[in-house]
């Protein structure tokens, strides 16, 4: 399949779309399960805790570390909401 060429054949485009239509729903389902499972929640909470701890260890004051951690959590929440909406 050409990478830097605009001469894609209909067959190549069809094969690519078939692959995407087969694999993408599986990937989204797996991500959704990670985000909404008990194990996924535990992993996310460890990630948030580690993020905050690393900011403090890097010398950031607690107030700014908490603010950035809250923003980090908001980003994670936004991502989970987006994946949740796509599963709806």
List, for residues 26-70, the tens digit of each pLDDT value: 887 777 777 678 888 888 889 899 999 999 999 999 999 999 999
Tens digits of per-residue pLDDT, 19-28?
888 888 888 7
Domain ranges of the chain: 10-87
> pLDDT band at 83, cuts 50/70/90?
low
Q: Do residues 28 and 38 lie in contact, with contact meaning Cβ atoms separated by under 8 Å?
A: no
Please state, in angstroms and as integers, the Cα–Cα distance from residue 26 to each residue in 36, 39, 46, 83, following that order. 15, 19, 26, 13
């Amino acid at each position: 399949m050409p990478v830097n060429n605009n001469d894609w054949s209909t067959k190549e485009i069809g094969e690519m779309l078939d692959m995407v239509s087969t694999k993408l729903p599986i990937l989204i389902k797996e991500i959704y399960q990670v985000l909404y499972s008990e194990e996924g929640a535990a992993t996310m909470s460890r990630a948030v805790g580690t993020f905050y701890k690393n900011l403090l260890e890097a010398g950031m004051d607690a107030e700014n570390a908490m603010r950035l951690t809250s923003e980090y959590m908001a980003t994670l929440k936004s991502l989970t909401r987006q994946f949740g909406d796509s599963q709806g």
